[in-house]
Structure 1
Amino acid sequence: MRSIFYVLLFFVGASAVAQSELLAKNYFDQGEFEKAVTIYEKLYKKSPHRTDFLQSLVEANQQLEKYSEVEKLLEEKLSSRAFDPRLYIDYGYNFALQGKDTLATQNYDLAIEAIKIRPNYAYSIGRSFEDYSLLDYAVTSYETAMKVKPDMDFNLYLARIYGEQGKLEEMFRKYLDLIDKNPSGKKIAQHNFSLYITEDPSNEANGILRKILLRNLQENPNVTYNELLSWLFIQQKDYKKAFTQEKAIYKRTEEDLRGVTNLAVITIAEKDYENATAIVNFLIENSATPEAKLQGHQLLMKIALETTPKKEYSKIEAKFEELLDTYGRDSKTYLLQIDYNHFLAFEMNKKETAIAHLKALSEERLTAYQEARVKMELADILVNDEKFNQALIYYSQIQKKVQSDVLAQEARFKVAQTSYFKGDFEWAQIQLDVLRKSASQLIANDAMQLSLMIRDNSLEDSTQTALKKYARADLLSFQNKNNEAITALDDIITNHKGEKIEDEALLKQGELFEKTEQYTKAEANYVKLIEFYNDDILADDAHFRLAKLYENHLQQPEKAKELYEQIIFSFSDSIYFVEARKKYRALRGDVIN
């Protein structure tokens, strides 16, 4: 019983200390420093080993300008046997607050001297200097430790401080020193470089990093410098120069084409098809296996699909057939076959042919994942052909086939989307409610957006007339029938003016106007949306799309800048916030991100 009593007593005491500490912090935060000092004095007296109590007591007294009280506290602690050399920094800073800079410097120097005796003090002393924004002394702390004990490495801390000080060349050099010692630090370096590097090659940081890397490459032809130069040129969207570096990397590694492949994918995504074609052709020429060459040809077909006029689509069809004749029509080419049959169904309107091809492919010896991918494309084509029930069967099979894969979640979303297309909003809503908790954030976001749209437009209209029209327009868009979709949305905008669905219709139609290169009509839709629905959930979408329209197609950068600024200040929780801030700063001409 006595032991239980002592345990209870301990917990009661600990609880009382925690409450007192919380109360003292609350007083401090509210500026009631006298009350905070009273409590911290009691806490420190009971627990003199608690350095956090001492620190809080020092700070509270300094706020009251009771510098002599702080001196007494710190001198007492400095005279004890187990003193911490960080106290010299606290002691020196107390002098600095009084304008006694000489005494402050003397104590800062004593902290540095402690590192010379015991280099392991460097981290805590350096961090303490940083806490007081004494960055030059923090640098000295870390550099002193590395001189005394060369196996210690504080380059990461030094690089970060140099960045805060605006010493870009020193910062880049320290990060490169870090990479030289530990190549795995490259990702950390690139992450921190991205805080200073912009798309503008004339940006100061870009120029400094480029010169350092080129100089280092001349002095020490390390492939890491080629990789970082390639990364830099990619940030600048100068894919031709990045390609030059990737070719140099390949020549030196002889067999590694991963960098070239990644660059090809990036360049295609950025729609720089001229450079992408050159990169992919290099990939094909230097690939050692048929599988790698096939991957290159798949990328070339993606470029062809984006660059070939519709009147010449028969050439693409012939090229697909040629590739399949060369590489076969089995599991090895299943991705190429998926691309081909998507093209046949959605671009050539040969749905029956595509469906027959994919059904035959699904009978091949495929892995569970490959079979699921094939059936996903097959189901999508059936939706395109408005054979909804058949499509739903395939989507359900995919969920069972790859239960633990994100593909299963995508299939569930497509069940919901297909049910929505066919007007079964209740079943769609049930599926979407499950997906809102999906492990995939992208799918969860899409599910939430569709769910909210169905719910919002079902409340005020029990017949769901406008929602059915909108779902039909959405299906037409999915089927690539853009002009028909635009007409269907016109009906909603004209006959359901002022209803919940109108903002959705304006945004969707604006996107389709962009897709069909009717940019002034898209502008009118977004302007109307902002004018009449600026407090609704789609307002940030309208601002962002209109800003990009002004920036990329209507050549009105000032208007684009104004809209990006509105997103920054009025839609801080928007998914477009980060991109809008980046675009705004670029248009404003900022040197550093």
Structure 2
Amino acid sequence: MKKLIFLFTFFISSLFCYSQQNGFIIAENYFRNGEYEKAIQLYKELHNKSPYNTTYLKRLISCYQETNQFLVAESLLLKKLKKYPKQTYTYVMLGYNFERKQEINKADEQYKNALESVKNNSGYGGIIANLFKNYNKLDYALKAYNGIMDNNPKANYGFQLAQIYGEKGDFEKMFDSYVNLVDRNEKYLNNIKRYASKYINDDSENENNTLLRKSILKKSISKPKNVWNDLLAWLFIKQKQYQKALIQHKALLARDADNLSGIKNLGKIAFENKDYETAKECFDIVIEKTNYPTDKFRAVYMNLQVDIVTKQPNIEEKFQQIFTKFGSNRNTLFIQLAYADFLTFTKNNPEKGIKVLEKAMSFTNSKFTKASVKLKLGEILVFTRNFNKALIYFSQVQTQFKNHFLAQEARFKVAQASYFKNDFKWAKAQLKILKGSATQLIANDAAELFLTISDNQSKDSISTGLKEYAKADLLAYQNKNKEAIGLLSEIITTYKSQPIEDEALYKQAQLFVKQEAYANAIDNFTKILQLDPEGILVDNSLYELGELYNKKLNNPEKASEYYQKIIFDHASSIYLVDARKKYRKLRGDNI
């Protein structure tokens, strides 16, 4: 019997809750659509059933205010205060009702009553502060939050305070609040980084960057902690000041010899941003300090990449020294891949590169590692123009790793190899699938190659220059840039005024940039702009010109001109966001 009574009670309770929730959803819909009179009836019922629910009351009062029933709202709030005097958040609603009636003095009086109740340890302090914030009474909200924390040292409204200071434009106090929050609880560090990143940029002289740096330094002097070095390192990385970030991470390492994760990440970031000196210093520290073989060999590998990119002498000797010291085994497998790549694409010795990879295949049982070796083998076979064998390796990886990044990469390599061997139909079929790839870089590359083939495929057996262009593209892939530039010149002359002309000019310009022949590159990019102002490579050329003048020729005025053209004339360009950011930075905006 007791069980039946319990089930019946539970059923009735659930039915009531469902009915109430359903009524609220309908009321909210009326409210959002501006049908306030209909909403009032529902909110009145909801409030009567749940007099402690602030959402129902606030919505009901808002409906009265939107229909100019200020006296009705006032009467309801006064009755509520009389019946429930401890519900002091009602003062805020009453004050705002007076404010809507332009009775400012009465409004301020009620707001002060609410603040006074916070001082007296009101249990509704959080609701009061939040109501002030919702009504955009930010100064009152600040006083309320600070009042709560004064009464209760365990209370922590640092996020709310920082958010309000940010809305008021008082960024110094906002950053102070964030830093204080971390000081109270270091678990907030990652959240603080996320919030603070909305207000800073990569300019170390930007006012907000300076304010945040000062706030951290001020706190680090009064209360030294490791977390301040971490936060400063993060800020310096944002500002692309990688050497300064390394100083902070070294300080952390001095206190904890196992604290290498920050230096590992910094090395990777510095390398990606071409600060090779700092990257190498990071990798050297990891090699010296780490107790983990995987980290050591990864750092050795990255150091070799630095040497290759910066064209250091005796790189092959450095590879041999590593293999002599550590051996050719599974620990050095990715270094062996790098060596095969170096032998092929830098030393033009693909036969030796293939032998290195065939040997490397025996050092691992990991299907993922084997896939990496196969992809590299395929790349070298493409280099030697052994396309069919390369396609076998790429297809094996593609089949084995369906719905994985490796499969997408393999599919693109299948398309690229097919394009090089002039099987344009099959290449297009693969590229069409990849245009929607989840990996943006592959999707972009696939879309570009798809357009190149589509725009220049032969029709009615009339040559369009696509085969010659694919041959030049292969020469560029083989790092035979001089030969590629020569063939592209022939294509530009032979196929003048045909669609392939701008493709050839663009590819040749990119190779000129590699050779640091910037005047020739600028000449080519400019010709593309003149050929067809609506051409598909116009925004690419504008961006490349902006980058050349900005990064290589130190001419910010000219760079701004090209970035600006993308902003105003090419709103759908993939370069739009980056161009706008760089244009505003060159103009000196506080972004």
TM range (shorter): 0.7 to 0.9
Contact 1:470 1:489 in 2 (8 A): yes
Deviations 1:234-257 (A, max 9, x none): 223322222221111111111221
Matches within 5 A, 1:319-330: 319-330=318-329
Separation (CA, whole Å) in 1 of partners of 2:218 and 2:503: 54
**Equivalent position SS for 1:363:** helix
The alignment of Structure 1 onto Structure 2 pairs a total of residues equal to 564
Provide the residue aligned with 2:53 in structure 1: none
Separation (CA, whole Å) in 2 of partners of 1:460 and 1:128: 70
**Equivalent position SS for 1:480:** coil
Separation (CA, whole Å) in 2 of partners of 1:432 and 1:82: 69
Provide the residue aligned with 2:553 in structure 1: 554
C-alpha change, 1:115 and 1:493, in structure 2 (3 Å) is farther
Provide the residue aligned with 1:578 in structure 2: 577
Provide the residue aligned with 1:365 in structure 2: 364
Provide the residue aligned with 2:432 in structure 1: 433
Provide the residue aligned with 1:241 in structure 2: 244
Q: Choose the corresponding residue for 2:304, options 293, 301, 316.
A: 301
Deviations 1:242-278 (A, max 9, x none): 2221111111111221212222222222222333333
Write the letter of the residue equivalent to 1:57.
C
Provide the residue aligned with 1:229 in structure 2: 232
Provide the residue aligned with 1:510 in structure 2: 509
Say if 2:63 is the partner of 1:57: yes
Contact 1:40 1:56 in 2 (8 A): no
1:332 deviates by 0.9
Q: Choose the corresponding residue for 1:92, options 59, 73, 95.
A: 95
Separation (CA, whole Å) in 2 of partners of 1:522 and 1:120: 70
1:579 deviates by 2.4
1:551 deviates by 0.9
State TM-score, norm by structure 1: 0.85
Separation (CA, whole Å) in 2 of partners of 1:149 and 1:461: 84
1:178 deviates by 2.4
Deviations 1:27-71 (A, max 9, x none): x5xxxxxxx56665666677767558636635644xxxx4xx234
Provide the residue aligned with 1:379 in structure 2: 378
Write the letter of the residue equivalent to 2:351.
E
Contact 1:362 1:371 in 2 (8 A): yes
Which moved further from structure 2: 282-291 or 505-514? 282-291
Write the letter of the residue equivalent to 1:76.
L
Separation (CA, whole Å) in 2 of partners of 1:382 and 1:196: 49
Q: Choose the corresponding residue for 1:215, options 212, 218, 227.
A: 218
C-alpha change, 1:350 and 1:107, in structure 2 (3 Å) is same
Provide the residue aligned with 1:4 in structure 2: none
C-alpha change, 1:269 and 1:54, in structure 2 (3 Å) is same
Which moved further from structure 2: 409-418 or 451-460? 451-460
Separation (CA, whole Å) in 2 of partners of 1:82 and 1:393: 79
Separation (CA, whole Å) in 1 of partners of 2:103 and 2:527: 63
Matches within 5 A, 1:144-543: 144-289=147-292, 291-308=294-311, 312=313, 315-403=314-402, 405-458=404-457, 465-543=464-542
**Equivalent position SS for 2:363:** coil
Deviations 1:394-446 (A, max 9, x none): 11122244445311221112111211221112212222233334333332333
Separation (CA, whole Å) in 1 of partners of 2:445 and 2:90: 54
Say if 2:73 is the partner of 1:73: yes
Separation (CA, whole Å) in 2 of partners of 1:489 and 1:577: 29
Write the letter of the residue equivalent to 2:486.
T
1:127 deviates by 3.9
Contact 2:132 2:141 in 1 (8 A): yes
Contact 1:155 1:177 in 2 (8 A): yes
Deviations 1:188-242 (A, max 9, x none): 2122222333333333323333233233333333111111111222223322222
C-alpha change, 1:513 and 1:120, in structure 2 (3 Å) is farther
Separation (CA, whole Å) in 1 of partners of 2:74 and 2:565: 50
Separation (CA, whole Å) in 1 of partners of 2:214 and 2:44: 58
C-alpha change, 1:465 and 1:215, in structure 2 (3 Å) is same
Write the letter of the residue equivalent to 1:138.
A
Provide the residue aligned with 2:10 in structure 1: none
C-alpha change, 1:299 and 1:107, in structure 2 (3 Å) is same
Separation (CA, whole Å) in 2 of partners of 1:561 and 1:58: 53
Contact 1:126 1:141 in 2 (8 A): yes
Segments of structure 2 that go 5 or more residues without pairing to the other structure are: 1-14, 49-55
Contact 1:74 1:87 in 2 (8 A): no
Which moved further from structure 2: 221-230 or 504-513? 504-513
C-alpha change, 1:55 and 1:422, in structure 2 (3 Å) is farther
Contact 1:409 1:438 in 2 (8 A): yes
Deviations 1:434-459 (A, max 9, x none): 33343333323333333343334449
**Equivalent position SS for 2:465:** helix
Separation (CA, whole Å) in 2 of partners of 1:74 and 1:217: 51
Separation (CA, whole Å) in 1 of partners of 2:425 and 2:126: 60
Separation (CA, whole Å) in 2 of partners of 1:395 and 1:56: 64
Segments of structure 1 that go 5 or more residues without pairing to the other structure are: 1-6, 29-35
Contact 2:132 2:138 in 1 (8 A): yes
CA RMSD of aligned residues (A): 3.3
Contact 2:64 2:72 in 1 (8 A): no
Separation (CA, whole Å) in 1 of partners of 2:212 and 2:32: 45
Separation (CA, whole Å) in 2 of partners of 1:288 and 1:261: 13
Separation (CA, whole Å) in 2 of partners of 1:464 and 1:138: 73
C-alpha change, 1:277 and 1:111, in structure 2 (3 Å) is same
Say if 2:137 is the partner of 1:139: no
Contact 1:375 1:394 in 2 (8 A): yes
Provide the residue aligned with 1:31 in structure 2: none
Deviations 1:538-587 (A, max 9, x none): 43322222211111122221222233334344444443333223222221
Write the letter of the residue equivalent to 1:142.
Y
Which moved further from structure 2: 498-507 or 341-350? 498-507
Separation (CA, whole Å) in 2 of partners of 1:505 and 1:78: 79
Separation (CA, whole Å) in 2 of partners of 1:460 and 1:156: 64
1:325 deviates by 1.4
**Equivalent position SS for 2:179:** helix
Provide the residue aligned with 1:104 in structure 2: 107
Separation (CA, whole Å) in 1 of partners of 2:531 and 2:304: 44
Separation (CA, whole Å) in 2 of partners of 1:130 and 1:476: 64
1:460 deviates by 6.8
**Equivalent position SS for 1:465:** coil
Separation (CA, whole Å) in 2 of partners of 1:568 and 1:71: 53
Contact 2:65 2:97 in 1 (8 A): no
C-alpha change, 1:158 and 1:391, in structure 2 (3 Å) is same
1:489 deviates by 3.1
Provide the residue aligned with 1:33 in structure 2: none
1:491 deviates by 3.7
Separation (CA, whole Å) in 2 of partners of 1:91 and 1:498: 75
State TM-score, norm by structure 2: 0.85
**Equivalent position SS for 2:364:** coil
1:341 deviates by 0.9
C-alpha change, 1:101 and 1:569, in structure 2 (3 Å) is farther
Contact 2:70 2:101 in 1 (8 A): no
Which moved further from structure 2: 457-466 or 290-299? 457-466
